[in-house]
A = this chain, B = another copy of it.
Amino acid sequence: MDIRHLRYFVTVADHGSITRAAEELGMEQPPLSQQIKQLEQKLGVALFERQTRGVKLTEIGATLLPRARTILDLQAQFLVTAHGLARGELGHIRLGLAGAVPLLPLIPLAIRRFRESAPDVTLSLEESNTPALCAALHDHSTDLAIIRPPVPDPTRLSVFHLLDEPTVIALPRGHRLAHQPVISLDMVAKDPLIIFPRELGPGFHDAILSAYQLAGVTPPLGQQAPQIAGTVPLVAAGLGVSVVPRSLSQIHAGGVTFHTLSEPAPRATLAVAIRSSQNMPLVSRFVKILRTACRKWENMSLEDQFPAADV
């Protein structure tokens, strides 16, 4: 049996006439008669009762008709879904975000733009750390991840650079340098450095420590923060100072002040990673939107990068 047979069956049933159904189907009457006959033979049942004027469904035919319709509907849905997937207009994307990434206004913006371009795509977000996100990509529990390079195991992953974000230094309220707009690392060499565990973001972690090293100082290590953005409250509590991506300066917890770092200053790099085998148009489109958004963003003024409403 064939889907064509079902379509013929339904069309003939709807028109009550083989001749008219043939018109609708864009074919002649004799082949349609034969196809119906063949279907009946294959099924072993009479679907129609031949009358002098047209044909009429038998009871069995009437029983079978709705089932044939659902199969045809499903098949049509199948085609629509496939075409939609082909054009990246529907489906589901699971997006992983490295620590503190959502604080960068750029990212929510890109997500919003993507959802406008593909309204039928459902999106799930998950915030985690870079190594975990890479593992999630590998085991297919995430489709796309914005991470802080480098990735531990780049095999089977494609990584696209997004942007290098400047870092700032966070000082507690009342710190002796709280009034200095620009600070160099050697000026805080004696302040305990609040930093996140290296496992949560080896790239950024190492960037911070090597910047200290370049500055020729070795800070005492303060308490470990549970995540990248988690350093700010600890600074606020007076446990030390911290070097964070500039986007974190949006957090105004407990009078913490953020100060531009003079060179040598680490940079917080962001990249987007996907599986190399990934060829869903949805994902490619998301990556494209992200990259163009980043290019625009890098040419913006500081005020535009962090709109007043957010700062």
Residues of chain A at the chain B interface (Cβ within 8 Å):
1-4, 6, 43-46, 49, 56, 58-60, 63-64, 67-68, 70-71, 74-75, 77-79, 81-83, 85-86, 91, 143, 277-280, 283
Report the separation of the CA atoms of residues A126 and B70 in the bound assembly, to the nearest whole angstrom: 30
Contact B86 A64 (CB under 8 A): no
Contact A75 B85 (CB under 8 A): no
Contact B277 A49 (CB under 8 A): yes
Contact A68 B64 (CB under 8 A): no
Give the contacting residue for A78; candidates B4, B58, B59, B67; CB below 8 A: B67
CB proximity of A77 to chain B, nearest CB, Å: 7
Report chain B residues within 8 Å CB of A58. Answer: 277, 279-280
Give me 15 A-to-B residue pairs in the complex whose CB atoms sit less than 8 angstroms apart, sorted by A's number: A1-B75, A1-B79, A2-B2, A2-B4, A6-B78, A46-B279, A58-B277, A58-B279, A59-B283, A60-B85, A63-B85, A63-B91, A64-B85, A67-B81, A71-B74
CB proximity of A70 to chain B, nearest CB, Å: 7
CB proximity of A6 to chain B, nearest CB, Å: 8
Contact A45 B82 (CB under 8 A): yes
Report the separation of the CA atoms of residues A242 and B143 in the bound assembly, to the nearest whole angstrom: 83
Report the separation of the CA atoms of residues A143 and B283 in the bound assembly, to the nearest whole angstrom: 56
Q: Which of A4, A6, A59 has the most CB of B within 10 A?
A: A59
Report chain B residues within 8 Å CB of A279. Answer: 46, 49, 58-60
CB proximity of A84 to chain B, nearest CB, Å: 10
The number of times this chain is found in the oligomer is 2
Contact B82 A64 (CB under 8 A): yes
Report chain B residues within 8 Å CB of A81. Answer: 63-64, 67
Report chain B residues within 8 Å CB of A46. Answer: 279
Report the separation of the CA atoms of residues A56 and B280 in the bound assembly, to the nearest whole angstrom: 14
CB proximity of A172 to chain B, nearest CB, Å: 48
CB proximity of A210 to chain B, nearest CB, Å: 38
Taking CB as reference atom, which chain B residue is nearest A277?
B49
Sample of 14 more A-B contacts, CB < 8 Å, known A1-B79, A63-B91, A64-B81? A2-B2, A2-B4, A3-B3, A45-B82, A49-B277, A49-B279, A58-B277, A58-B280, A60-B86, A60-B279, A63-B81, A64-B85, A68-B78, A74-B74
Give the contacting residue for A60; candidates B43, B44, B280; CB below 8 A: B280
Contact flag A83-B44 (CB < 8 Å), given A59-B278, A78-B71, A280-B60: yes
Report the separation of the CA atoms of residues A43 and B3 in the bound assembly, to the nearest whole angstrom: 16
Report chain B residues within 8 Å CB of A86. Answer: 43-45, 60
